[in-house]
A and B are shown apart, each in its own frame.
Chain A
Amino acid sequence: MQEKLSEVVLILIGSTLTTLILATLIILSVFIGQRRKFRHRKELIEMKSNYDKEVLRTQLETQMQTLETISRELHDNVGTLISMAMVHLKSTENTRQTTEANQMLDEAMEILRDISRSINPDNIQKRGLSQSIRNELDRIRKSGQYKTNFTSEGVEFAIDPQNQVILFRIIQEALNNILKHARANEIQISLIFKEPKLSITIADNGQGFLFQPEQGDSISHSGLANMTKRARLIGGSLEIKSKLNAGTTIEIQYPAFITDLSKEKYHKYGMHKEPVNTELTSS
């Protein structure tokens, strides 16, 4: 009887263990499969993100080249034509009309130079971000419809030249939106250099708009979406705060450490500056 019991126990334990091992294998395969699925999905997301970044970078490069060409054409061709027209006018008899025409051409030439500088990426890289923003605000202020205010705090550190152009384009886009939609009369831009981070704030006192990301609002407007994408492309982030009739504030955070710029390069670009706390208010 005892011998029979041990055989029965053996059969029972053997069959139970076999089915349990099979069950364990099934469960393990589900876990492994799930892990593979996650890894595959992660790879797909990464690939898509890299592809999007590449497309955006190409778009930006194309845009930069186009703007550079336009800037050169404006400066070399249209600028030369205006200069020649001014020379011709000066050589003719000096009447009230020719003097007025001369003044208008002078003004046109100045606007042309401003636009040319503003859109030329080389110019932005040469002047640096702060100066380019100042010039841009100056250009807006000259229209006589806006009060502009620019502040910069902290020690201005070097920013990768390409990223600098992208940051400037984001600011330009923001300013363009203010001019087109905000119905504002005051624009304020502030830069805070706090190594390794640069914070940029662009604020206006315009009509604002309804935007509540915490309640599920997403950036659907292509201009705003573009700005966000550009900020992400350079490793930064962009936040929009707006309320109806209370203006709009755009905050850009740019982590400068990813630019891989060493201090040597920093000096090479000729952008090393003493601590700056400047304020430029124009009206």
Chain B
Amino acid sequence: MDDLMRYGPVCILAITTLAGIRVYFNNAPQPLKMLFHICLVLLLIDGFGYFISDVLREQNKWLANLFLIFSILYVANIFLLILEQEKIKLTIQIFYGAFIVFAFINSLFLQGLSGVQTLTFVIGGVFMIFLSGAYFWQLLVSPDNDRITRDPFFWMSFGLLVYYAGNVPFYGMFNYLERNFYDFTVFYQTYISNAFATFLYLLYLIAFLCRKNYPKSY
């Protein structure tokens, strides 16, 4: 059971990445191709992470920290392309600069790279929740007649919203929990946090499969 919960998300991610290949041959919009990029990179990073921890028996938190910064910036860039409101776009651009500076300061002077960067996770996660909410709002007020269930970015936002809403409280307290309640932290990360990750990858999979074709103007 432990192994299933530990490696399950990576297996789902591998399937999602495979399904994502078709977006390259299907006239898919650029942001969806970018979602495929992030799945591919995440799969490689996850594989490498497991290699470091399970084979080399070393800490891989620095890798997770670096990827966290990269993934939040990259996903914010996807939202920059799919969101239409100028104020939100401007907010994303401001966040970009501020987040890079913050991540730099946090990595060098505050939390470092050896422990989990809880501050980065909370700030990035809350911003992801905000961007998902902004996309839902855009869908709600949009005059378009398309069904939201056929919109890949609806599924992407849905997944990100649930993933970060479920994980922000845990990763916000991660260092404290790990220090004081190690077993509980490992249990929570293996079962609860990985369940959220599995859910996210499943929704990415739906995002890749929810449409057969993409019109040229999509």
The minimal Cβ–Cβ distance linking A216 to chain B, given in whole angstroms, is 14
Residues of B within 8 A of A9 (CB): 184
Residues of B within 8 A of A12 (CB): 169-170, 173, 177, 188
Quick check: A16 and B184 within 8 Å, CB to CB? no
Quick check: A34 and B170 within 8 Å, CB to CB? no
- Chain B interface residues toward A at CB < 8 A: 129, 132-133, 136, 139-140, 145, 147-148, 154, 158, 161-162, 165-166, 168-170, 173, 177, 180-181, 184, 188, 192
Chain A, Cβ-Cβ closest to B183: A5
A281 within 8 A of B: no
- Chain B CB count within 10 A is highest, among A9, A15, A19, A37, for A19
Residues of B within 8 A of A27 (CB): 136, 158, 161
State the CA gap A114–B148 with chains docked (Å).
Answer: 60
Quick check: B165 and A19 within 8 Å, CB to CB? yes
Given A27-B161, A41-B145, do A34 and B140 touch, yes or no (CB 8 Å)? yes
Quick check: A20 and B145 within 8 Å, CB to CB? no
A108 within 8 A of B: no
Residues of A within 8 A of B192 (CB): 16
State the CA gap A24–B155 with chains docked (Å).
Answer: 13
The minimal Cβ–Cβ distance linking B192 to chain A, given in whole angstroms, is 8
State the CA gap A12–B132 with chains docked (Å).
Answer: 23
Quick check: A30 and B169 within 8 Å, CB to CB? no
The minimal Cβ–Cβ distance linking B197 to chain A, given in whole angstroms, is 14
Quick check: B180 and A4 within 8 Å, CB to CB? yes
- Interface SS of chain A: helix, strand, loop or mixed? helix
Chain B, Cβ-Cβ closest to A33: B140
Chain B, Cβ-Cβ closest to A22: B165
Chain A, Cβ-Cβ closest to B147: A34
- Interface SS of chain B: helix, strand, loop or mixed? helix
- Chain A CB count within 10 A is highest, among B132, B181, B192, for B181
State the CA gap A26–B145 with chains docked (Å).
Answer: 20
- Chain A interface residues toward B at CB < 8 A: 4-5, 8-9, 11-12, 15-16, 19-20, 22-23, 26-27, 29-31, 33-34, 37, 41
- Chain A CB count within 10 A is highest, among B169, B181, B188, for B169
State the CA gap A33–B147 with chains docked (Å).
Answer: 12
- Ordered by A's residue number, 27 sampled pairs between the chains whose C-beta atoms are within 8 Å are A5-B184, A8-B173, A8-B177, A9-B184, A12-B169, A12-B170, A12-B188, A16-B165, A16-B166, A16-B170, A16-B192, A19-B165, A19-B166, A20-B162, A20-B165, A23-B161, A23-B165, A26-B132, A26-B136, A26-B161, A29-B140, A30-B136, A30-B139, A30-B154, A33-B139, A34-B148, A37-B140
Picked from B140, B166, B181, the residue with its CB within 8 Å of the CB of A5 is: B181
Quick check: A19 and B169 within 8 Å, CB to CB? yes
Residues of A within 8 A of B165 (CB): 16, 19-20, 22-23
Given A16-B166, A16-B169, do A23 and B129 touch, yes or no (CB 8 Å)? yes
Quick check: B170 and A8 within 8 Å, CB to CB? no
State the CA gap A210–B177 with chains docked (Å).
Answer: 75
The minimal Cβ–Cβ distance linking B191 to chain A, given in whole angstroms, is 13
Residues of A within 8 A of B169 (CB): 11-12, 15-16, 19
State the CA gap A26–B130 with chains docked (Å).
Answer: 11
Residues of A within 8 A of B180 (CB): 4, 8
Chain B, Cβ-Cβ closest to A5: B181
State the CA gap A19–B164 with chains docked (Å).
Answer: 9
Residues of B within 8 A of A5 (CB): 181, 184
The minimal Cβ–Cβ distance linking A22 to chain B, given in whole angstroms, is 7
The minimal Cβ–Cβ distance linking A34 to chain B, given in whole angstroms, is 5
State the CA gap A29–B140 with chains docked (Å).
Answer: 9
The minimal Cβ–Cβ distance linking A155 to chain B, given in whole angstroms, is 45
Chain A, Cβ-Cβ closest to B136: A30
The minimal Cβ–Cβ distance linking A173 to chain B, given in whole angstroms, is 33
State the CA gap A109–B158 with chains docked (Å).
Answer: 78
Given A12-B173, A16-B170, do A23 and B139 touch, yes or no (CB 8 Å)? no
Residues of A within 8 A of B139 (CB): 30, 33-34
